[in-house]
C-alpha cells in the first residue's frame, strides 16, 4: 500500500510557498509586510505624516504630507532601504522614492 503521500513530506513553509506562488499572492503579501516594516522602522512620528505606501519592481514609493520631513528623509534613503530589508529578512527593496 505504497502511495506518493507517504514517500513525500513537505514542510508547511514549502506548502505555503507553493500556495502563494500558484495563486500569485506573493506581491500582496510582500506589500503588507513592507507596510508593517515601514511603520515599525520609521516610528509613529513619520507614520503620522505618511499617507500612502506602494511597492512595485523593487521601488518603495512613500507619499508624505510634510515637505520638511520628505527633505530630511531624502538624505537617508540608503539607510532606510537597508533597515527595511533587514526587518523583512530579504532584499526586496532596491530604492525608496519619497513623494
Order of strands, edge to edge, in the sheet holding 50-56? 50-56, 59-64, 95-98
Check residues 77 and 26 and name the one with the higher pLDDT.
77
- Is the pTM of the predicted complex or chain greater than 0.75? yes
Average pLDDT in the chain: 89
Is the pLDDT at 99 greater than 80? The verdict is: yes
Is the pLDDT at 3 greater than 60? The verdict is: no
56-89 pLDDT per residue, tens: 999 999 999 999 999 999 999 999 999 999 999 9
Confidence of residue 16 (pLDDT cuts 50, 70, 90): confident
Residue 24: the pLDDT is 73
- Percent of the chain exceeding pLDDT 70 equals 93
Q: Please, what sign has the CA dihedral across residues 72, 37, 63, 55?
A: positive
The C-alpha atoms of residue 67 and residue 42 are separated, in whole angstroms, by 16
Amino acid at each position: 500500500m505504497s502511495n506518493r503521500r507517504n514517500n513525500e513530506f513537505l514542510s508547511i513553509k514549502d506548502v505555503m510557498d507553493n500556495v502563494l506562488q500558484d495563486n500569485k499572492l506573493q506581491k500582496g503579501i510582500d506589500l503588507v509586510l513592507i507596510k508593517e516594516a515601514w511603520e515599525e522602522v520609521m516610528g509613529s512620528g513619520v507614520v503620522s505624516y505618511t499617507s500612502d505606501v506602494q511597492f512595485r519592481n523593487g521601488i518603495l514609493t512613500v507619499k508624505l504630507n510634510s515637505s520638511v520631513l520628505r527633505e530630511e528623509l531624502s538624505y537617508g534613503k540608503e539607510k532606510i532601504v537597508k533597515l527595511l530589508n533587514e526587518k523583512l529578512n530579504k532584499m526586496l527593496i532596491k530604492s525608496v522614492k519619497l513623494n
